[in-house]
């Protein structure tokens, strides 16, 4: 091993991707790509990877997804975590930044790429960093010479909604999962739920919601709550350090024809990350989709990177972002990154 290389351990949530990888010593720089493809493939508002110095092992145990003619992504077939990316014409491999375990990264510099694709700045509005420019369609494709690859598009466009299901449309990159989020209505008030850690930190207080507050509804019931999460499970299930969730009543999640969305449809695959706690991901492109549990079955967490709002990636026409806390910040491995995120949220 060269002196400019360092060995790190990685793991996804189920442990299937556990192995050692060889990185460069400079992991203090975190590159975040906000392009259309990165958001649709991961379900996040971005993707972030570290360049590997050697070819990873056991990559054949992961599912491969062709983002474009030149770029492939690899994700865990059991829990859905994005693990590696490969650029064909350079032969370079990258590892998803959220999977590093053990010695934590110490992020000192944040670089944002393709922020213009978000329309509203996306996560850059919450996480201060240097805005970088590239002619590539994606940060992972440094030599695309301005050519617009398939990676800039979602492979299947969602058809226009009918009158019953009009609202915000959402879907993953491959088009296997597509749905709509309807505007808040009378059914949005029907669920009951404990408080989320985003609003009531579990390490300081009980999650009991004795007053049955409909906390997922905001601004006189005109928008839904959205926020950030840094918990270990979300990090290892997605592959990325910052998870963004929108909290939506199940009655407001529908198919294009207005029928209720079922979790066993299309390319959705379920992973039970803890007893009676469920996560869905797309088993074709690996996008993080939903989180829900038996205790709170009627309010669903939707990964915000799936949303296709005309106003921008943060979908603020329909979502009200909580800026006072990063959920489970105490569990974050990269505390420097989370401190920057928390500071950026509060400065909005």
Q: Name the β-bridge partners of 182.
A: 167
Domains of the chain, start order: 5-152 (2.170.150.70), 167-346 (2.170.150.70)
* Strand order across the beta sheet in which 29-33 lies: 63-66, 71-75, 82-87, 92-96, 47-51, 29-33, 109-113, 130-131
Residue 153: per-residue pLDDT = 53
Residue 85: per-residue pLDDT = 98
pLDDT digits (tens, 9 = 90+) for 53-68: 999 998 999 999 999 9
What single string gives the DSSP state of each residue in 225-272?
A: EEEEE--HHHHHHHSSS-EEEEEEEGGGEE-TTSPBP-TTSTTEEEEE
DSSP 13: S
Count Cβ neighbours within 10 Å for each residue of 28-62 and write b for 16 or more, e otherwise. eebbbbbbbbbbbbbbbbbbbbbebbeebeebeeb
CB contact at 8 A, 196 and 247: yes
Residue 3: per-residue pLDDT = 58
pLDDT digits (tens, 9 = 90+) for 179-192: 999 999 999 999 99
Residues in the chain: 348
Residue 143: per-residue pLDDT = 55
Residues of the chain with pLDDT under 70: 1-4, 142-166
pLDDT digits (tens, 9 = 90+) for 31-43: 999 999 999 999 9
Nearest Cα residue to 222 out of 167, 301, 292: 167
Rounded distance between C-alpha atoms, residue 232 and residue 337, angstroms: 14
Residue 26: per-residue pLDDT = 78
Residue 103: per-residue pLDDT = 83
Rounded distance between C-alpha atoms, residue 260 and residue 297, angstroms: 14
Residue 25: per-residue pLDDT = 73
pLDDT digits (tens, 9 = 90+) for 206-235: 999 999 999 999 999 999 999 999 999 999
Residue 145: per-residue pLDDT = 42
Entry pTM: 0.93
CA 110 to mean position of chain CA atoms: 18
């Amino acid at each position: 091993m060269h002196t400019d290389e360092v060995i790190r351990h990685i793991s996804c949530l189920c442990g299937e991707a556990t192995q050692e990888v060889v990185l460069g010593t400079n992991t203090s720089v975190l590159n975040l790509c906000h392009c259309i493809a990165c958001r649709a493939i991961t379900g996040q508002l971005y993707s972030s990877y570290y360049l590997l110095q050697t070819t990873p092992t056991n990559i054949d145990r992961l599912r491969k997804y062709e983002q474009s003619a030149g770029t492939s992504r690899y994700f865990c077939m059991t829990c859905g975590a994005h693990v590696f990316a490969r650029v064909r014409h350079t032969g370079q491999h990258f590892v998803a930044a959220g999977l590093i375990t053990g010695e934590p990264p110490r992020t000192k510099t944040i670089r944002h790429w393709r922020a213009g694709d978000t329309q509203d700045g996306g996560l850059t509005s919450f996480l201060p960093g240097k805005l970088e420019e590239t002619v590539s369609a994606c940060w992972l494709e440094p030599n695309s010479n301005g050519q617009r690859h398939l990676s800039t598009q979602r492979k299947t466009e969602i058809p226009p909604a009918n009158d019953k299901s009009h609202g915000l449309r959402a879907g993953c990159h491959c088009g296997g999962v597509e749905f709509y989020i309807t505007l808040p209505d009378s059914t949005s008030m029907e669920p009951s739920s404990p408080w989320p850690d985003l609003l009531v930190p579990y390490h300081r207080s009980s999650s009991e919601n004795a007053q049955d507050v409909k906390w997922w509804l905001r601004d006189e019931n005109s928008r839904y709550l959205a926020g950030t999460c840094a918990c270990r499970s979300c990090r290892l299930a997605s592959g990325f350090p910052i998870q963004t969730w929108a909290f939506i009543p199940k009655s407001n999640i529908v198919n294009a024809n207005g029928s209720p969305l079922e979790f066993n449809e299309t390319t959705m695959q379920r992973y039970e990350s803890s007893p009676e706690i469920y996560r869905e991901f797309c088993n074709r492109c690996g996008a993080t989709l939903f989180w829900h549990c038996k205790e709170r079955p009627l309010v669903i967490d939707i990964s915000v990177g799936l949303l296709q709002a005309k106003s921008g990636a943060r979908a603020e026409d329909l979502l009200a972002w909580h800026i006072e806390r990063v959920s489970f910040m105490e569990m974050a491995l990269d505390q420097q990154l989370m401190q920057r995120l928390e500071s950026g949220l509060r400065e909005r």
